[in-house]
Amino acid sequence: MSDTDESLRTLAQAQGIYLDFFDLHGARHETCPDTLRALLKALGTEADSPAQVTEALAAQTADARPTEVIAFAGDPITVPMPGTCDWSLVNEQGDIIGEGRGRGVIDLPRLGVGYYDLHITGTQSGRCFVMVRPHRAPDLASKAHIDACWGTTGALYGLRSATNGGLGNYRDLGAVAATFGRAGAEFLGVNPLHALGWAMEEIISPYSPSHRGMFNIDHIAVEGGLGPTPDAGLIDYAGFRERHRAALEAQFKTRDRDAFADWCETCSDETRQFAEFEAISETHGHDFRTWPVALQMPGAVARKAAGKRAEFHLWLQYLADTQIDAAQRDACASGMALGLYLDLAVGPRPDGAEVWINANTIARGVTIGAPPDHLSPEGQSWALAAHAPGPLARAHYAPLRSMLRRLMAKCGVLRIDHALGLLRSYWLPDDGNPGGYITQPLDALLAVITIEAHQAGCLVVGEDLGLVPDGFRQAMNDAGLYSYAVWQFEANHLGEILPADTLPPYSLACFGTHDTPTLSGFWHGTDIDWWQRVGWLSSGDRAARHSQRAKQRASLRDVCAIPSAAQIGDIVDIIHGGLAQSPAALVSVQMDDVFGELEAQNLPGTINEHPNWRRRLSLPIDAMEQSAALLHISDVMSNARGAPAHQDETDHPKEVPA
């Protein structure tokens, strides 16, 4: 290795770039020099020449003055400071709550949960961002005064109703939550509700948002409805959006101006900027990077270009915001202790509003992805933008704080997709070089998450699947974040699925997710057949995978005592019973499994090869409450987890003859 390459590696390591990583099978992958240069550039450091590398290494000399402090609420806080300085501490409201003079250290008063600015004048004047976090995020005991519960997860877009016209909406969300709440469920989880973008008509994946802090207008329930859901099993998004948007335009003309005006008094500048982005996109297209240069950032010019049309898009956010609130109220009124369980996607699209609004914190020239793993044998490129650690810290994590605050205000549980991104992110350079891992500021990100969760009274689940480094789960659990245990992935070194009593107690446990086959699909190997259909497996590979699945089925039969002659309905019941009896604090059953669906909602790594995000549930929502399937899952869960205090025999869903 040359001295130049060694200096490049030293610089990359100093800036948090992994020099190598081990894959799912234990094979070591070294990060090549071209990838190191691309990732350094994404972090804001040019390293194309030896001179640039030398200059960047020299600039690595640390400033002796801290720029960030993390402390626990109520604990003494001592900030080391070179020399003598005067200081003042300002809270989020702009009030000075402490001041003094420090010699070598600054002793701050004991503080409550929140964010503070420490202003320093002296030898090294500046500001220090102080994050005071709770010891733990809220948990079931503190939030709901229970030790264990169950809930369901499903695809909002796939709900059938008498009025939604083809795509599940926020009114349907409240109705289904109330139905499951009366059956004893304590939460209802759905796909991310992030805004996809008015002008980006091709995007249907809820995990490819334009902005994660704004809401999807496709799910707005319009006045008078759009008629019943079509019979077709797959959603026609283009046809639905044409009808739905025409109805929204008509409703805007007769809007409740007073209620909208009251809401506007409380909405953030970021929400207004999002509305301006949406208005401009109607003229210049979904990708702001192709807009006239003067419009490629928020500001007066963009505001003028958006014009009066921005009010329409602001009004859409008002409708989505208030309808989600109504759904949460319906969920809690039914007896749910937690209500809605929302999902935070990994990142936004590079062409969307979140990047446009937060350009100063976005890593350029890279997108987020994942190396090959059990979800996708080819690896994944998610085509999502990443916030760069350094710029995000200098912005005092404002994009993350505002996003979490907005989402947590709407739900009782928030799931952070790919929580490993709190520790490290896999970035793929746009220039085609292999990907590599970037260190993330775990302690600071956990501080922001726990502060926001504390203030909102919201539980947090970290989806910690994949290549999990030692100590990560413990750090997450210590901060009060629940792990995410997918039973079909909990296996020994032989690939045999472990008993349910080995599932982590401090977790949300489920058998499958939107990214895995349904329980019935798992049993029959439909995912393996799809992998061959899209060209990932040869005939021989397919046979080997089915052989491995047979071993998994055999291990489930063993640990769950499933009779050899059991039919799929009985097998599903027994597996759900095992989940219910597990030590996991929260247990989730997929709505697709409750109502007997076979095909999965998503096949990771595909876009059009599989009908991702298009499948509808077979049973309409107005038939759920009286269905034998709901009665049965309620009994299975309640028998093992205990009936909630809000449920008794008089409000138990009744089975009716077919």
Give the tens place of pLDDT for each residue, 141-188. Answer: 999 999 999 999 999 999 999 999 999 999 999 999 999 999 999 999
pLDDT in tens, 204-233: 999 999 999 999 999 999 999 999 999 999
Is the pLDDT confidence value at 372 over 60?
yes
In the structure encoding, which two tokens stand for residue 88, read together?
């003042």
**Would you place residue 654 in the very low, low, confident or very high pLDDT band (cuts 50, 70, 90)?**
very low
* CA dist., res. 420 & res. 438, Å (int): 11
* CA dist., res. 18 & res. 10, Å (int): 11
Is the pLDDT confidence value at 377 over 60?
no
> Do the strands 380-384 and 366-370 form a parallel or antiparallel pair, or are they unpaired?
antiparallel
Least confident of 91-105, 202-216, 457-471, 638-652: 638-652
Strand, helix or coil for residue 557: helix
pLDDT in tens, 13-47: 999 999 998 877 778 889 999 999 999 999 999 99
Backbone angles phi, psi at 8, to 5 degrees: -60, -45
Mean pLDDT score of the chain:
93
Mean pLDDT of 241-255: 98
Model pLDDT, residue 33: 93
Least confident of 5-19, 70-84, 350-364, 637-651: 637-651
Chain mean position to CA 458: 14
For the chain, the farthest-separated pair of C-alpha atoms sits apart, in whole angstroms, at: 82
Q: Which of 58-67, 368-377, 551-560 has the highest mean pLDDT?
A: 551-560
Q: Count CB neighbours of 524 within 10 A.
A: 17
- Enter the DSSP assignment of 134: -
* CA dist., res. 570 & res. 175, Å (int): 28
Strand, helix or coil for residue 264: helix
**Would you place residue 373 in the very low, low, confident or very high pLDDT band (cuts 50, 70, 90)?**
low
Model pLDDT, residue 23: 77
Q: Which of 204, 210, 218 is nearest to 288 (CA)?
A: 210
Residue 479 and residue 449 in contact, taking contact as beta carbons nearer than 8 Å: yes
Percent residues over pLDDT 70 in the chain: 95
Model pLDDT, residue 63: 57
Q: Which amino acid is at 104?
A: G
CATH code given to domain 74-133: 2.60.40.3110
Range 140-641 has CATH code 3.40.50.1220: no
Strands (E), 273-365: 339-344
Instruction: Give the domain ranges of the chain.
Output: 3-58, 74-133, 140-641
Is the pLDDT confidence value at 655 over 50?
no
Cα angle for residues 558, 560, 562 (degrees, 5° grid): 75
- In the chain the first and final C-alpha atoms are separated, in Å, by 74
Strand, helix or coil for residue 410: coil
Is the pLDDT confidence value at 608 over 90?
no
Rg (CA), the chain: 26
Q: Which of 510, 446, 504 is nearest to 480 (CA)?
A: 446
Model pLDDT, residue 58: 87
Element housing 325 (H / E): helix 309-333
pTM, 2 dp: 0.93
Is the pLDDT confidence value at 67 over 50?
yes
Strand order through the sheet with 507-510: 459-462, 413-416, 339-344, 187-190, 149-154, 586-590, 507-510, 483-486
132 has which bridge partners? 71, 114
Is the pLDDT confidence value at 74 over 70?
yes
pLDDT in tens, 475-504: 999 999 999 999 999 999 888 999 999 999
Model pLDDT, residue 391: 93
Model pLDDT, residue 581: 96
Residue 179 and residue 630 in contact, taking contact as beta carbons nearer than 8 Å: yes
Q: Do domains 74-133 and 140-641 have the same CATH topology?
A: no
